[in-house]
């Protein structure tokens, strides 16, 4: 009797023990499931953060294989297989590592390296990228991975270029102001004596051969005209390179164009290109910054000159249409335009611009037009004459 009771008691104790163990197992399973869900959520959050970074992120192994890239990095090199490729293949199109590979140097020294590259292909073609390579050390302290960050710094480069250009123009202005007085003194003497000789020849033309007198008068008139032209160029140069302010004022765009054309007319003549300035005699008032406008017109005229062939014509004319002042710059033949009526994109530009027709110079012109609440278009398709068309709002009284 006691044994039966004892056996019954033992059976119930074993059953209770199994039930308790099963509950513990189920509790652990729920904890693991909750932990797994939390880890999955954290993983998704981390992946979202990485893919929404403004910088491109790449992870390299010790053999310089790309094991991970985020979406921004893939966009920078669109059309290229990145994951699984060597970094020098994916980013530089090379078959072997660079002689002074920064990634290998970081791998051996454990020090961060920095630099810049210009993207040649893909959506970011023509843009300047700043890169940073940082070591990722493992438990043993050795570098197991490399973290490569890339950032688009084209806009910063454009801003730096604008500052450099502004400093250069300020230096030119200072130089011009310093030597203007010294140059104007001999020019005044040349102009004064040539005028005096012209007057004496006209009064005493009978004293020498008529043909010889005509030659002298022509030569003296040329000397007199060129002296005054030099004086005007110096004045325009001083005004053009004068330190500008951010304040806008009411300007006559025709006068701004005339001042700018006088700076570039001789350059066009030296290259066998005729310049036709048809800026209207009627004032075309706009609100703007004179220095910025001259900078823009000089860029566009230089680009048109580069596109024109010897014997060609570069023309500029203005007209008032309702409440808009329209300026058209065109050349007879050339390549200053290649897209029909397309707005010049402000975000395109090379980090190393040349003179006139680079994407960066057009981007600067576009920014200046935006600053003046106007717009710029490039026309040239369908056999039409290539032209820049600028539209400014009229300054109302």
pLDDT profile of the chain (397 residues), mean per 10: 49 57 69 68 70 82 88 78 84 81 87 83 74 86 87 84 74 70 80 85 73 80 82 67 65 88 83 83 83 85 82 87 88 47 34 39 77 81 63 84
pTM assigned to the model = 0.43
Q: What is the model's pLDDT at position 180?
A: 72
Are 318 and 325 within 8 A, CB to CB?
yes
Number of C-beta neighbours around residue 192 at 10 A: 12
The phi and psi torsions of 291 (rounded to 5 degrees) equal: -65, -45
pLDDT digits (tens, 9 = 90+) for 150-207: 888 888 888 888 778 777 766 766 776 677 767 877 888 888 888 888 888 877 766 6
Burial 199-221, CB ≥16 within 10 A → b, else e: eebeeeeeeeeeeebeebeeebe
Are 392 and 327 within 8 A, CB to CB?
yes
H-only helix segments in 52-77: 71-76
Q: What is the model's pLDDT at position 335?
A: 40
User: Domains (ranges, CATH) in the chain?
Assistant: 56-152 (3.30.450.20), 154-243 (1.10.287), 246-397 (3.30.565.10)
Number of C-beta neighbours around residue 272 at 10 A: 11
Q: Count the helix, strand and coil residues of the chain and give each as a percent rounded to the nearest 5.
A: 50, 20, 30
DSSP summary character for residue 354: -
pLDDT digits (tens, 9 = 90+) for 259-292: 888 888 888 888 888 888 887 677 888 888 887 8
Q: What is the model's pLDDT at position 17?
A: 61
Distance CA 98, CA 104 (A): 9
Q: Residue with structure tokens 């490399």?
A: 146
Compute the CA torsion angle 241, 247, 251, 253 (nearest 10 deg). 60
Number of C-beta neighbours around residue 71 at 10 A: 13
* Beta-bridge mates of residue 326: 319, 391
Contacts of 6 by beta carbon, 8 Å cutoff, 6+ apart: none
Q: What is the model's pLDDT at position 207?
A: 67
Distance CA 248, CA 244 (A): 10
CA distance readout (Å), 344 to 8, 13, 116, 298, 349: 93, 86, 26, 17, 11
């Amino acid at each position: 009797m006691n044994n039966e009771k004892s056996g019954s008691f033992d059976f119930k104790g074993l059953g209770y023990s199994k039930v308790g163990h099963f509950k513990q197992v189920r509790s652990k399973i729920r904890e693991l499931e909750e932990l797994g869900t939390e880890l999955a959520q954290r993983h998704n959050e981390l992946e979202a953060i990485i893919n929404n970074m403004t910088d491109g992120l790449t992870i390299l192994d010790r053999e310089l294989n790309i094991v991970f890239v985020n979406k921004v990095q893939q966009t920078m090199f669109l059309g290229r297989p990145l994951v699984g490729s060597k970094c020098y293949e994916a980013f530089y199109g090379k078959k072997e590592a660079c002689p002074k590979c920064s990634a290998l140097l970081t791998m051996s020294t454990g020090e961060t390296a920095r630099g810049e590259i210009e993207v040649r292909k893909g959506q970011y073609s023509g843009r300047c990228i700043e890169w940073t390579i940082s070591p990722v050390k493992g438990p043993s302290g050795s570098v197991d991975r490399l973290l490569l960050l890339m950032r688009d710094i084209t806009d910063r480069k454009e801003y730096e270029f604008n500052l450099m250009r502004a400093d250069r123009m300020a230096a030119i202005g200072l130089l011009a102001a310093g030597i203007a007085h010294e140059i104007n003194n001999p020019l005044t003497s040349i102009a004064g004596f040539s005028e005096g000789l012209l007057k004496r020849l006209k009064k005493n033309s009978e004293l020498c051969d008529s043909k010889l007198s005509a030659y002298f008068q022509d030569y003296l008139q040329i000397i007199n005209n060129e002296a005054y032209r030099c004086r005007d160029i110096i004045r325009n140069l001083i005004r053009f390179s004068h330190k500008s302010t951010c304040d806008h004022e009411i300007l006559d765009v025709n006068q701004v164009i005339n001042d700018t054309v006088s700076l570039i007319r001789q350059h066009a003549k030296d290259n066998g290109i005729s310049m036709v300035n048809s800026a209207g005699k009627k004032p075309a008032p706009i609100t703007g910054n004179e220095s910025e406008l001259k900078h823009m017109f000089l860029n566009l005229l230089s680009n048109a000159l580069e596109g024109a062939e010897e014997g060609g014509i570069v023309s500029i004319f203005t007209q008032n249409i309702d409440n808009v002042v329209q300026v058209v710059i065109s050349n007879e033949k050339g390549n200053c335009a290649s897209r029909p009526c397309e707005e010049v994109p402000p975000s395109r530009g090379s980090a190393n611009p040349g003179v006139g027709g680079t994407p960066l110079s057009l981007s600067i012109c576009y920014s200046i037009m935006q600053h003046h609440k106007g717009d710029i278009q490039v026309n040239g398709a369908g056999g039409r004459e290539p032209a820049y068309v600028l539209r400014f709002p009229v300054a109302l009284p």
